Structure 1
Amino acid sequence: MSRVTRGLPSWPYRNTVLALATGSFFATMVARLVLSPNVPAITADLGVSKSEVGLALTGMWALYALFQFPSGVLGERYGERRVILAALGLTGAGSALVAVAPGFGAFALFALCLGGGAGLYFSAGTALLTRQFEKTGHALGFHTAGGPLAGLLGPLAAAYVGTRYGWRAATLLGAAVAVPLFVAAVLALRETPPVRPETPVRERFDPGVVVHYLSKPRTAFTTVVAVVTVFVWQSFASFFPTFLVEYHGYATGDASAAFAAVFALSAVCLPVLGTLSDRVGRDAVLVTCLVAAGTGFAALLAGTGLPALLAGVGGLGVGLSWMGTVQSRLMDTLAVDERGTGFGLVRTVYMLVSSLGSVVTGTAAEAAGWPVAVGLLVGLVAVTAVALVGNRALGLGL
């Protein structure tokens, strides 16, 4: 028995951290995404309009973005493990409370709690991974893949459960995922020593801290790249099925299947591209992704039929897998003891700014048509690719 045991490959603790981190990101995404497919049922049950539910969900996503910064600050002050546990616990509790909300006021309040609780996770989880892995592209690529997996599986599961058992049961799927992961994290995650145990939290919210990080040329440049990539992703996530239905005439089911196929391909490509960025460089992978995404959008604008759809889905599935590499590039610009607060701050900035993607793209499509709206996205990725290539060619060091 001892010989067999000695012959088994060991399981490094850092892989446990990576698995739990990816699962935690998946859980915090699922808890929010399960609400969208059941908006009609929610409006009917609570006796409110779609715009009122939309306002509540917008507040949930806004608080999610705003809590990225506190996540990093609290992780540096108290240790990432405590913040991750708090995020998972609050996500599970928020999801359960939304499911039992007796009226719209309680629904909106609990949705805000859910957004804030889920928002506490990502910056602390990312900082913890950078402590465990020297090759951050590999780790953050796997970690970020939890998002597309949630985008693929969460709405499908919520639609099925909501149809059979109602929106409240579907909402509980968030708690059903978050609570087991909370228990697993309690049992498996080791205590993490805080990076800044003596620094008062209040000092980290000083405006000077914001200026300190965003005045670094490499960090500022990477923040702009992040704004563009998330803006484009947000636009895609909001309107891709609608674009296929209105511009190409696809049935809603076929458009949804193509949408899911992009998420599935992205979930596979994210860890692969993240690992590749450790070997060949962040910018080479980012430029490849930007070109692939631009090609995918252009194919869907210029082409018709199945060939255009396959080219579009393939290009977007690969291209929109840029986020793990973007985050690794950002971490490369920060010192080890800055990665919690610095990453949280920059993530809050780029998420809030890029959240305009839905509004801008929707307005452009309504006012000028889909060629203009999608053409804008092609232009953004093209300019960003040129900026990255120019930075390398001219030796700007950004």
Structure 2
Amino acid sequence: MDRPSDSTRRTTLLSVAAGNFVQLGCRLLVGAVVPLLLVHFETTRSAIGLALTGMWSVYALAQFPSGVLADRFGEHLVLMGALAATAGSIALLALAPSVVVFAVFALALGMGAGLYFAPASTLATRLYDAQGEALGVLTASGAVAGVVFPAVGGVVGVRYGWRIAIALGAATALGALALTAVTVPRLPPENPDRSLHSVVDFDRHRRLLTRPSVAYSVALGALVGFTFQAVSSFFPTFLVEYRGLTTGTAGIAFGAVWALSAVAQFGAGRLSDRYSRDTAIALSASISLAGVVTLLAVPSTVGLLAGVVLLGIGISWPGPIQARFFDQLRDTERGYGFGLLRTVYMLLASSGSVVVGVLADQGGWTAGMGSVLVVLSACLVLLGANRWYSLGL
């Protein structure tokens, strides 16, 4: 493959980052209006948490086939299909007449959005040698989505209703679809001979997933991913019920977390390229843990602001985690392998929504968010063991 020009590479990276901004933002819109959904459908946090875990689980399951499809047919085609499916499914979600139908359409949204990130990441790594930095840009766009979509969704939802707030996602997805069609080049498929039967080649899956360094990386991803699930699903509701904020203010605070995350992810990507992936991940997990502790234990406005800042800076792990996955894969495994690893770690992490929802129903938000502290601590223990005992994972 002839290497594209610098301007083409920059345009492509920005375009796929815009698509990532949209596909994640559409899902974050749902989290932003959970307080309104609880009232409208007269349902429980456990029920909404189960629906969101379903959405994120299907999102995770779609990662693997999307990688295989990108290998076989090229990233451009899969990216287009993912954005089209995202636009259609979130439009239907806005029309849901009951919580059960809402959950079904949430599954469809998870499937459409889940086809996007693996081919977008593979395309970025094909274009850039500084993969940590390129993936940092891609993942940071998702954090920017966390700034815009929840804040807008919270304000619009309170003023015009949750259906209008969610419907905004369909318009943005159509815009991203048009941008991708015009600006993203159709590079030759990385592995056009890839058999679609590889999706069910369980022996091959086992061989890849049981490599010690790969299994270790998946475990790290699942642990920090649990935190992401908990925050994206219930942070605004936590702020409303535990900290006493209004729905609109909670949406703005939620957006502030993702704004800080967007900035921090650029630095985390560079840190992982310059020093090590694990250094960047450990720093992220430590700061996130400090943020959750502050939000739970410090009741003042200062505690609220400090907790939001720490949590936002702490959620900077996605770029280093994705880069760590690519470090473990051979060139011919990248589309297939990256999709598989994302499916496994995100499927495990998707439990964050239902676990936090159930614990919050049964024991209050101290129990719900306390589970996040346990999981982040486990991540730091794994990182420490790898370093202190020179395991080489």
Q: How high is the TM-score relative to the length of structure 2?
A: 0.86
**Percent of pairs with identical residues:** 43
Could you tell me whether the CA contact under 8 Å between 1:24 and 1:181 is conserved in 2?
Answer: yes
Could you tell me whether the CA contact under 8 Å between 2:53 and 2:351 is conserved in 1?
Answer: no
Q: Find the counterpart in structure 1 of residue 202 from structure 2.
A: 207
Q: Which has the higher contact order (CA 8 A, sep 6+)?
A: 2
Amino acid at match of 1:220: A
Q: CA deviation at 1:231?
A: 0.7
Could you tell me whether the CA contact under 8 Å between 1:39 and 1:50 is conserved in 2?
Answer: no
Q: 1:167 to 1:335 in 2, by over 3 A?
A: same
Amino acid at match of 2:392: G
Amino acid at match of 2:359: A
Q: Please point out which of 305, 311, 316 is paired with 1:310.
A: 305
Q: 1:130 to 1:248 in 2, by over 3 A?
A: same
Could you tell me whether the CA contact under 8 Å between 2:52 and 2:354 is conserved in 1?
Answer: no
Q: 1:257 to 1:205 in 2, by over 3 A?
A: same
Q: Please point out which of 253, 257, 263 is paired with 1:258.
A: 253
Q: 1:85 to 1:355 in 2, by over 3 A?
A: same
Structure 2: tracts of 5 or more residues without a match: none
Q: 1:248 to 1:13 in 2, by over 3 A?
A: same
1:131-189 deviations in Å (ceiling 9; x for gaps): 11111111111111222222221133334445565555434322321222222222222
Give SS of 1:33's match. Answer: helix
Note if 1:185 corresponds to 2:180.
yes
Q: Find the counterpart in structure 2 of residue 174 from structure 1.
A: 169
Q: CA deviation at 1:201?
A: 0.4
1:197-221 deviations in Å (ceiling 9; x for gaps): 1232013421112202211111100
Aligned positions of 1:270-281 closer than 5 A = 270-281=265-276
For 1:258 and 1:168, the matched residues in 2 are separated by: 21
Q: CA deviation at 1:317?
A: 1.3
Could you tell me whether the CA contact under 8 Å between 1:40 and 1:50 is conserved in 2?
Answer: no
Amino acid at match of 1:311: A
Q: CA deviation at 1:309?
A: 2.5
Amino acid at match of 1:201: L
Q: How high is the TM-score relative to the length of structure 1?
A: 0.85
Give SS of 2:380's match. Answer: helix
Note if 1:233 corresponds to 2:228.
yes
Could you tell me whether the CA contact under 8 Å between 2:139 and 2:319 is conserved in 1?
Answer: yes
Q: Find the counterpart in structure 2 of residue 359 from structure 1.
A: 354
Q: 1:158 to 1:295 in 2, by over 3 A?
A: closer
Q: 1:127 to 1:151 in 2, by over 3 A?
A: same
Give SS of 1:145's match. Answer: helix
Amino acid at match of 1:240: F
Note if 1:148 corresponds to 2:126.
no
Q: Find the counterpart in structure 2 of residue 65 from structure 1.
A: 60
Q: Find the counterpart in structure 1 of residue 78 from structure 2.
A: 83
Q: Find the counterpart in structure 2 of residue 296 from structure 1.
A: 291
1:107-153 deviations in Å (ceiling 9; x for gaps): 66654433322211111111111111111111111111222222221
Q: Find the counterpart in structure 1 of residue 212 from structure 2.
A: 217
Q: CA deviation at 1:278?
A: 0.9
Q: Which moved more, 1:242-251 or 1:208-217?
A: 242-251
Amino acid at match of 1:359: V
Aligned positions of 1:88-107 closer than 5 A = 88-99=83-94
Q: CA deviation at 1:104?
A: 8.3
Q: Find the counterpart in structure 2 of residue 7 from structure 1.
A: none
State the superposition RMSD in angstroms. 3.0
Aligned positions of 1:337-376 closer than 5 A = 337-376=332-371
Q: 1:258 to 1:41 in 2, by over 3 A?
A: closer
Q: 1:155 to 1:300 in 2, by over 3 A?
A: closer
Q: Find the counterpart in structure 2 of residue 387 from structure 1.
A: 382
Note if 1:127 corresponds to 2:122.
yes
Could you tell me whether the CA contact under 8 Å between 2:229 and 2:350 is conserved in 1?
Answer: yes
Give SS of 1:12's match. Answer: helix
Question: How many matched pairs?
Answer: 387
Could you tell me whether the CA contact under 8 Å between 2:154 and 2:247 is conserved in 1?
Answer: no
Give SS of 1:197's match. Answer: coil
For 1:344 and 1:370, the matched residues in 2 are separated by: 34
Amino acid at match of 2:330: A
> Which of structures 1 and 2 has the bigger CA Rg?
1
Q: Find the counterpart in structure 2 of residue 118 from structure 1.
A: 113
For 2:112 and 2:73, the matched residues in 1 are separated by: 17
Q: 1:378 to 1:40 in 2, by over 3 A?
A: closer
Could you tell me whether the CA contact under 8 Å between 2:75 and 2:123 is conserved in 1?
Answer: yes
Q: CA deviation at 1:40?
A: 8.2
